[in-house]
Chain A
Amino acid sequence: MENDRLLDIRDLHVVFDVFGGTLKVLDGVDFTVRSGEKVGLVGETGCGKTTTMKAVLRVLPMPPARVTGGEILFKGRDILQMTSRELGQVRGEGMAMIFQDPTAALNPVFTIGKQLEAAVKYSASGDKRLSGKEIRQRAVEALKEVALPDPERLLKNYPFQLSGGMRQRVCIAMAVAGDRELIIADEPGTSLDVSIQDQILRLLRRLAEEINTSVILITHTLGVVREIADRVYVMYAGNMVEMAPTKELFSRPLHPYTVGLMAAVPKLTGGGIADGIPGRIPDYLNPPVGCRFHPRCERAMPVCRTDKPRFVKVSEDHEVACFLYSQEEEGT
C-alpha cells in the first residue's frame, strides 16, 4: 500500500508573503496518488488547488510563496529537498502539468515545434541521445494523439496562429508526449467556450483510459470528475476536507461542504437554480480558527471554532475531516 504511492503529500503548509501580512493558504494538505490512478481534486475557485499542484512541481513563485512545513514525496523522495538537478530529472521523467489557460502556457514567440520538441527532449523516453529526427517524430505523434490535423505543418506555426481549442490540445500534447508517470491537468478548457471545453474533456477522458499514467484532474465541476476520476479529494480553503472513491462520494457525501457542493449542481429535474453554499472563501490573512469551514457551516459545533479536524477513516478509503464524524467514531 505504501509502496504503490506515486505522489504523497503530507501536511503541506504554504504561505504567501504579501504587503500587509502573510496569507496562510495551504494549511496542512494531505494528498496521495497511486500509480495508474486518476484522481480528482475539486473545490471552489481560490481554495488552493492550483497552489498545491504548483508546489508539487516546485513552480510556485518564491517569493512571495514560502513552504513552511510538510513534505511532498514523489516515489518516496521529498521533492522539496531536491537539488535543481534532481528536480529537473524528476520533472522530466516524472510529471507534467496542463495549465489552466493554454494561451498563457505557451511561449508566444516560439513555434509549436520548438516547444513540443523541448518537451520530448527532456522527458523520460527522450533520454538525451534521441536524434533530432526521432524527437520530431515523437512530437508529430503527440499531436496526432490529441487529434490535431496536419501535425507537420502545425509544428511550424506560432501559438497565436492557432485557435484556443487547438492551443489547449497542444498543451495536452506537450504533457503526454514524453510518457511521463503523472499528469496534472489544471481545469483544462475552462477558458474556452463550452462546446470546445466539452471536446477537450472527451479527449482527456479518452487519453486517461488509453494511457496508464496517473492523472490528477483539478476542477470545480463535479460532473467532469465523475466521468474521469477513480477517487476524489474535496478541498476547502487550503485543507482537504473529504476523500472517497468517486461513486462513494457522489452517493454518500459526508462533509457539510461536500454536501453543499453537490446541492449546488443544477439539476435537470429540479425546479430553478440551486442555492449554493452561503458565504465565501475566507480571508487567508486571518483565516478562521479551528475548522476553516465553520463560519459557513450549518452544522457547526463549539469544537469547530477551536480545534482543527483531522482526516478520519469512516470506511475503507473514505476519509473526512469533520468533527461530526470523528465524534461518532469516538462514541463507538
Chain B
Amino acid sequence: MGFASFLGRRAVHSVFVLLGLSILIFIIARIMPGDPARMAVGARAPQWVVDNLREQMHLNDPLYVQYVYWLRDAMRGDFGISLVTRRPVADDIREFFPATLELALFAGIINGAGGIILGAVSAWQKDKWVDNVVRIVSYLGVVTPSFVFAILFLLLFGMALDWMPTMGRLSADISKPPLITGLLTVDSLLAGDFRAFFDALWHLILPGVALALGGMSQEARITRSTMSDNLTKDYIAAERSLGIPGSVIMRSFLLKPSLIPTVSILGLDFAATLGNAFLVELIFVWPGLSRYGINAMLRKDLNAISAVILVLGVVFIITNIAVDIVVARLDPRIQLGAGRSE
C-alpha cells in the first residue's frame, strides 16, 4: 500500500475519532455538576445576569442542540469565550499550546535519545557494573513522579546553586522573537537571534529534564530488555560467526530490530506529557496548555476544557500516525495500514 493512501485513510479515520471524542467531551463537560453561568459571573451576581448568560450560552436548549452549536463554532476555530480569562479560548490555546508543545518536544528528545543510549549501553554491558547502575537508576526514575524531580531541580540548580533560571520561557531582558511557530527556540533561530535561542533553551532544560526522566527510564528499560533478548537470537550469532565486529553488529544489525517497542512507548509518552505536565509547569511558572487545562477544569470553564481536550486528542492522533510510520520503517514486515504479512 502506498504512503499517500495510508495517510489518506488515517486522516479519514481521524475525523471519526475526533467526532467521537468531541461528543464525549461535550457531554462530560455538560453533565458536570454546577451551573457554568453562575460560576462565570460569581456568587454575588444577581439572578437575571445568570439567566441572561444561560440564554446567551444556549444552556437552556436540549443537549444535542447545544452540541450542534458548539461543533459549528468549533469548526470555525471558535471555542467561545473562556469563562476565566474572559478571552476567546482559541487565543488562549494559541498562546499556551506552543509553550507546552516546545517543552514536550524537548522532553521527548531527551527521553528518546537518553533512553535508547542508556538501554543500548546497558544491554551491551549486560550484568556488568554499568548495566547494574543503569538498571537501579532507571528503576528510581520510573517510580519517581516528575514533579519531585522538578522540585529537586528547582531547589538545587535554581536556588542553592543558582545556575539555572526557574521561571518562564525567556529572561526578562531578552525580547521575544517574532511569532512564527510559537516555539521560542525555533522562532529565535528563524529570526537569527542566537541570544534568544540559547536563553530559551536554557529555560527549557530544568522543566524538560524533569518531565523526561520518568519516560527516559522506562525507555531505557524497554530498550535494554528488547536488545538483550535479540542478542540471543540466531541471526546475531550468525553475524558474529561471520566475523562482523561486535560494535558493527550493535550499531548496524541489532539496534534497528530492537527499537520498535521503544518507539511505540516514546510516542505515547510524548503525547501524554502535553496533558500531564501541569505540576511541572506550575513549579517552573511555565505558561503552558497543561496548566491552563487544569485551571479550566478546577474552575469549570467548559469552553476551555473542551478545546484543550480536543487539542490533546489531535496531538495523540498525529503522534500515533507518526509512530506507525516510524515502526513501518524499522520493520519491513509491517505494512503501513495492514497487519503483518508473512
Chain A positions near chain B (C-beta within 8 angstroms): 54, 57-59, 61, 63, 84, 88-93, 95-97, 99-101, 104-110, 115, 118-119, 122-123, 158, 160, 171, 174-175, 178
Which residues of chain B from 235 to 252 have a CB within 8 Å of any chain A CB? 235, 237-246, 248, 252
Which residues of chain B from 245 to 265 have a CB within 8 Å of any chain A CB? 245-246, 248, 252-253, 256-257
Q: Nearest chain B CB to A116's CB is how many angstroms away?
A: 10
**8 Å CB contact of A110 from B234, B246, B253:** B253
Q: Name the segment of B11-19, B65-73, B203-211, B327-335 touching the other chain.
A: B327-335
Q: Nearest chain A CB to B137's CB is how many angstroms away?
A: 23
Q: With the chains together, A97 CA to B233 CA distance in Å?
A: 14
B234 and A99 contact, CB distance less than 8 A: yes
Q: With the chains together, A64 CA to B253 CA distance in Å?
A: 23
A109 and B257 contact, CB distance less than 8 A: yes
What are 23 residue pairs bridging A and B, where the CB atoms are less than 8 Å apart in the complex?
A57-B237, A59-B241, A61-B232, A63-B127, A88-B244, A89-B243, A92-B244, A95-B241, A99-B238, A100-B234, A101-B234, A105-B238, A108-B331, A109-B257, A109-B333, A118-B242, A118-B248, A122-B243, A122-B245, A123-B243, A160-B342, A175-B242, A178-B242
Q: Nearest chain A CB to B38's CB is how many angstroms away?
A: 60
For chain B, the count of residues having a C-beta within 8 Å of the partner chain is 26
Chain B positions near chain A (C-beta within 8 angstroms): 127, 232-235, 237-246, 248, 252-253, 256-257, 330-333, 341-342
B235 and A106 contact, CB distance less than 8 A: yes
A119 and B242 contact, CB distance less than 8 A: yes
Q: Nearest chain A CB to B224's CB is how many angstroms away?
A: 16
What 4 A-B pairs are tightest by C-beta distance, nearest first? A92-B243, A91-B243, A104-B234, A59-B237
User: Are A109 and B256 CB-contacts (below 8 A) given A99-B238, A104-B234, A122-B243?
Assistant: yes
A122 and B232 contact, CB distance less than 8 A: no
4 other A-B residue contacts (CB within 8 Å) besides A58-B240, A107-B235: A61-B232, A84-B246, A97-B237, A109-B333
Q: Nearest chain B CB to A111's CB is how many angstroms away?
A: 8
Q: With a CB–CB cut-off of 8 A, which chain B residues contact A110?
A: 253, 256
Q: With the chains together, A106 CA to B233 CA distance in Å?
A: 10
Q: With the chains together, A104 CA to B239 CA distance in Å?
A: 12
Q: Nearest chain A CB to B253's CB is how many angstroms away?
A: 6
- In the complex, the chain A residue whose C-beta lies closest to that of B232 is A61
Q: With a CB–CB cut-off of 8 A, which chain A residues contact B127?
A: 63
- In the complex, the chain A residue whose C-beta lies closest to that of B330 is A109
Q: Nearest chain A CB to B213's CB is how many angstroms away?
A: 30
Q: Nearest chain A CB to B128's CB is how many angstroms away?
A: 12
Q: Nearest chain A CB to B246's CB is how many angstroms away?
A: 6
- In the complex, the chain A residue whose C-beta lies closest to that of B331 is A109
